[in-house]
Structure 1
Amino acid sequence: MRFLPTRIHGAIDYSWGVALLASPWLFGFADTTTAKWVAIVFGVGAILYSAFTAYELGVLRILPMTLHLMLDGVAGALLAASPFLLGFSGRVYLPHVLFGLFSVAASLVTRTEVTLATGHREPA
């Protein structure tokens, strides 16, 4: 069931990206190079593709919302699996897994229709 409005999803996108970028220092794994850079790359990536998404908080509004949600799902799954795929799960895994699963969940519950400033809905 898709109940989350795209405007709220957009606010979450930017907050999630910044929180993921800060997570190596917030959660004490900045000394684990691979784990740190995975968080940074995924955080920057999420902010960038959010800026290019055709939704209320998009800057350039190029990517359709459906593609954005697919990226959220795939990137979230990869982020959640990254500690195990890249071999740093012995040092840190929980932030990557939780941020990743959150992204997957958000991709599944966000509406695909965008409500523009005019009040009419644009199909995905």
Structure 2
Amino acid sequence: MLLKRWLPFCLFLLFVSGVIIANDLGRLRGIIQWVNLLPFGDKFGHFVLIGTLAFLLNYAFNGRTIKIGRQKVLLGCSIVAIAITIEEFSQIWIPWRTFDLVDLAANYCGITIAGLLSLRRSSG
């Protein structure tokens, strides 16, 4: 049962990490240029990839929540939000990458929708 929950997240994390690392090394310039030709292609990519990552981590944690102040939040969403914020800010120091607050907003939107879907899934 544990493997059933964690395997999808681990495999998708490897994929997303590979995309990030390849992009950081400048290996995806052609693909990124093509994605940027699509209207909102980059933002949609951020939304879907990071939202899926958050959803799968929430699934792996079985909807576990933590308390921040008086608010309960999903642990998976919290971890992905922190990690992706660090990753986006790290782009400031990579010459061929561009730090973009709109990319960060697309990530957060994906995480939020993933959280809502996770809560709906666990309550229904």
Tell me the TM-score normalised to structure 2 length: 0.41
Give the structure with the larger helix fraction: 2
Tell me the TM-score normalised to structure 1 length: 0.41
